[in-house]
Amino acid sequence: MSLWSSFLRRSQSALLSRVHITAAGKSMSRTINRTGVFLKKQLWVFPIIAAVVLAIVGVSTRTTIESLMRQNLHSQLETLLDVETAMLETWINVQTANASSQANNPTIRGHVYQLLEAVDPTAENPVPLAGLKLHAQLQKDLAPALSAGDYFGYFVADKSKRILSASNAELIGQKDIPEYDGPISHALEGEPTISVPYASVIMTRDDSGKVRTGVPTMFVCAPVRDASFQVVAVLAMRIRPDREFTRILQLGRFGRTGETYAFDINGRMVSNSRFDEELILLGLITDEENARSILNMSLRDPGGNLSEGFRPTKRRHELPLTKMAKAAVSGESGIDVEGYRDYRGVDVIGAWKWLPKYKMGIATEIDSVEAFRPVVILRWAFWGLFILLGISALVIFVFTVMNARLQREAQKAAVAAKKLGQYRLEEKLGSGGMGIVYKGYHAVLRRPTAIKMLHVEKVNDSSIERFEREVQITCQLNNPHTVAVYDFGRTDEGVFYYAMEYLDGIDLQSLVEKYGPLPESRVIHILTQVCGSLYEAHSQGLVHRDIKPANIMLNRRGGEPDVVKVLDFGLVKALDEGQQAGLTAANGLTGTPLYMSPEAIQTPNAVDARSDLYAVGATGYFLLTGKPVFDATNIVELCHMHVDKTPESPSQRTSNPISADLESVLLGCLEKSRAKRPQTARELSLRLERCMAATAWSIEEADDWWSRHDRGVAVVVSEASPSIAGSAYDRTYVGGSVVE
């Protein structure tokens, strides 16, 4: 309907202009006649134009949103896969470190050396009775480590890959077991490794207590070296993959259908799927007690969605690998947000990575239907709009005539709204997403005032609560360097407004941008006044949370030059109250990234007065150098810098002289740890006053500066760096007021 309103307003404006011009030389009857002809001949095209515009906007919007969603999903999948891979590799490193520690244990190595000496590789039974005794001693000495690391057995193999000792006596003496060959060979080359999960070849007790073969198993292997550091044997410890290995991958489950799993070079799943019950119902897993997908599910593309009734015409082993598995086992890592079929035949999007060192792949996937659900909703929404537009076209002419009449009445009401209570509005100073600011006068006092009112169409419980809270907080503060609120009210028409002192100075952001960096003496003079305003707020348990140059106005007040006013207490946080709950997003960033403290980025709900002092230091840094503390290409990079990077000294960023004591004070404010910063605004003010340049800025210099510059140059100043807030308010500073 906003498009229609725009069209109608333009058409009415053109029509009124034409009527006025014609009336100068023609009769009223001819004017009315021309107006009727215009309405009859041209007004009907408006619905068609609107439909075409809406169609173009709809297609363009949908395409843009789909593209943005794909980019976002691409990033999310990549991040999740990287996190899961990093967690898995960390776990593997821990396991290999444990195995290496035991393999290098002098006692364990001694037993292995004795076993090697006791074994006759040419004998039919290469492990004699003496070797069996050594085996028992080795098993006893390894028991504490196996128990502590949650390992379920071990074996020791010599360089010929013959098993010399094992927790399962069935293995002792065996040689060249295919499942053991890969990890043993890798360890014999001198590097600890871990095997891909496989089905056990010996009788092993599973989680249910049954002893059987085929239990999912994996080993971590480490080389045993002799005194000359040569590899003489391999120590392997058994791990159950359905414990930590699978649990790590299950952490990658997201949404209703998202899952992360591992697979081997044959495209066989070596961790559990989240769809085991569904796979049993589809007949892809045998319907047995404790049946699981690990080692039983092959990543084959059935050619259609099995859950929707599709049945392939080939046996499972004859089907091709899924697109993801085929690419991964060939050594390729990738991300696909266009969609492909998974092992159930369901369309999914996913990311995968092949780990050649372990001959294993990791994949994370989510059903396309769930991933792109917002796009489907959007598509139906646009179709609904098109249908509604077609219906509306039948009556648009009547509504247009009615709208013209209502528009005239609204214009009269707008003129009448120039008077709010006892305030008469004059010029409009600015507007933003939530409010409008006028310059006005009290009807009796005739005092110039900045009057801020909420947009009528934006009035809701949340905006009113935010608006009233800003007034209430600011009214609690009486410091001369805090912008003063005079009045608050609501008109009979439901317009909320408040009146505050009118400032016609310049904010510090514009001051530096227009006139360059400030001398250090003036910076100290400004910052001490800011500290005065903040000290009062902090003493009442309030944290500003958005101190920055654009929120600090420099004025000439009461004949005094360089008087500072701190603005915008709309984001203030009450440390001892829960009244702010719901006004901003939970745990969301609130503030301006260029001036946010590390704790405001990492733990937004834990900010305190020292967070404001960090911003004061960053503001002083900007005033001295004309540059922010950190330069970054995006918000994420900037936040990382605030958290981790040590700022350069201001003297390294500018050619202007800066005293060491002032530089030390500012860098002290920018400490990452709050405990190392000044603890109160009063303490910071005292430190600034002790600087050598603190008294150098005189009132004569300030008067001279203001006499040489036009006071009105910054009556309207747009914020240089946008704030991040839960409700995404736009801000414009207008004569000392904040338009939201």
Q: What is the pLDDT of residue 97?
A: 94
What's the CA angle centered on 526, arms 523 and 530, to 5 degrees?
Answer: 130
Q: What is the mean pLDDT of residues 195-209?
A: 82
For the chain, the maximum distance between any two Cα atoms, rounded to a whole number of angstroms, is 128
pLDDT tens per residue, range 575-631: 544 444 334 443 445 568 899 999 998 988 888 999 999 999 999 999 999 999 999
Predicted confidence (pLDDT) per residue in 383-413, tens digit: 777 777 677 766 666 666 676 466 445 434 6
Give the pLDDT mean for 285-309. Answer: 89
pLDDT in tens, 158-194: 998 889 889 888 888 888 888 888 899 999 999 999 9
Closest CA to 679 of 555, 539, 578, 549: 539
Q: What would the pLDDT profile of 690-705 be if each residue is shown by its tens digit?
A: 999 998 999 999 988 9
From the list 716, 323, 280, 270, the residue with the least C-alpha distance to 510 is 716
How many residues belong to the chain?
740
Query: Ramachandran region of residue 290, left (φ > 0), alpha (ψ -120 to 50) or beta?
Result: left
| Residue-level pLDDT at 121 | 61
**Interatomic CA distance for residues 264 and 299, integer angstroms:** 10
Helix (H, G, I), strand (E, B) or coil at 587: coil
Predicted pLDDT of residue 74: 92
pLDDT score of 574 more than 60: no
- How far is the C-alpha of 391 from the C-alpha of 1, rounded, in Å? 13
Which of 239, 238, 228 minimizes the C-alpha distance to 113?
228
Mean pLDDT (the chain) is 80
More confident residue, 695 or 52: 695
429: Cβ–Cβ under 8 A, 6 or more apart, which residues? Answer: 437, 438, 439, 450, 715, 716, 734, 735, 737
pLDDT over threshold 60, residue 431: yes
Neighbours of 236 (CB within 10 A): 28
> Distance between alpha carbon 718 and the CA centroid of its chain, in Å?
26
Closest to 550 (Cα-Cα) out of 594, 588, 590: 594
Q: Go through the domains of the chain in sequence order and give each one's CATH number.
A: 2-43+375-412 (no CATH), 71-239 (3.30.450.20), 252-371 (3.30.450), 419-739 (1.10.510.10)
Task: Convert 43-108 into a string of H (helix), E (strand) and C (coil).
Answer: CCHHHHHHHHHHHHHHHHHHHHHHHHHHHHHHHHHHHHHHHHHHHHHHHHHHHHHHHHHHHCCHHH
Query: Is the model more confident about 50 or about 715?
Result: 50
Q: How far is CA 388 from CA 61, 118, 380, 391, 543, in A?
A: 19, 90, 12, 5, 49
* pLDDT at position 169: 82
Q: What pLDDT, in 10s, does the model give residues 254-286?
A: 889 999 999 999 999 999 999 989 999 998 888
CA dist list (Å): 444 to 417, 418, 558, 588:
18, 16, 21, 44
- Supply the pLDDT for residue 470: 74
- Per the listing, tokens 């747009």 go with 718
**Greatest mean pLDDT among 21-35, 426-440, 554-568:** 554-568
pLDDT of residue 581: 39
Is residue 505 a contact partner of residue 459, using CB atoms and an 8 Å limit? no
Does position 634 have pLDDT exceeding 80, yes or no? yes
The one-letter code for the residue type at 419 is K
pLDDT of residue 126: 53
Q: What pLDDT does 324 receive?
A: 95
Single-letter residue type at 296? N
> Which SS3 state, helix, strand or coil, does residue 628 take?
coil
Fill in the DSSP letter of residue 477: -
Output the six-digit token pair for 376.
Answer: 């489907």
Distance (Å, whole) CA 591 – CA 587? 12
User: What pLDDT is recorded for position 541?
Assistant: 87
- For the ranges 43-52, 520-529, 535-544, the lowest mean pLDDT is seen at 43-52
Instruction: Please report the pLDDT score of residue 577 as a whole number.
Output: 46
Burial string for 703-720 (b: 16+ CB within 10 Å, else e) reads eebbeeeeeeebbebbbb
Which is nearest to 680 in space by CA: 566, 539, 569?
A: 539
Beta strands at 573-574 and 560-566: parallel, antiparallel or unpaired: unpaired
In the predicted model, what is the mean pLDDT of residues 35-46? 49
The residues, any chain, with a CB within 8 Å of residue 458's CB and separated by 6 or more, are 433, 434, 435
**pLDDT for position 64:** 84
pLDDT at 397: 63
Task: Label residue 736 by pLDDT band (50, 70, 90).
Answer: very low
**% of the chain exceeding 70 in pLDDT:** 78
Angle between helices 28-42 and 2-23 (to 10 degrees): 150
What number of CA atoms fall less than 13 Å from residue 626's CA on the CB side? Answer: 12
CA–CA gap between residue 522 and residue 624 (Å, rounded): 9
pLDDT in the model for residue 398? 66
Q: Residue 157: pLDDT above 60?
A: yes
Residues 153 and 168 sit within 8 Å (Cβ to Cβ): yes
Q: Is the pLDDT of residue 26 over 60?
A: no
pLDDT band at 8 (very low <50, low <70, confident <90, very high): very low
Over the stretch 436-490, which tens digit does the pLDDT of each residue have? 788 888 878 888 888 887 765 666 667 777 777 777 777 888 899 988 888 887 7
Contact of 285 with 276, CB cutoff 8 Å: yes
Q: pLDDT band at 11, cuts 50/70/90?
A: very low
pLDDT band at 432 (very low <50, low <70, confident <90, very high): low
User: 724 pLDDT band (50/70/90 cuts)?
Assistant: very low
Long-range contact set of residues 457-463: C-beta below 8 Å, sequence gap at least 24? 458/433, 458/434, 459/494, 459/496, 462/582, 462/583, 462/727, 463/434
Does the pTM of the predicted model rise above 0.75? no
Higher pLDDT, 18 or 664: 664
Tokens of 429: 């100073």
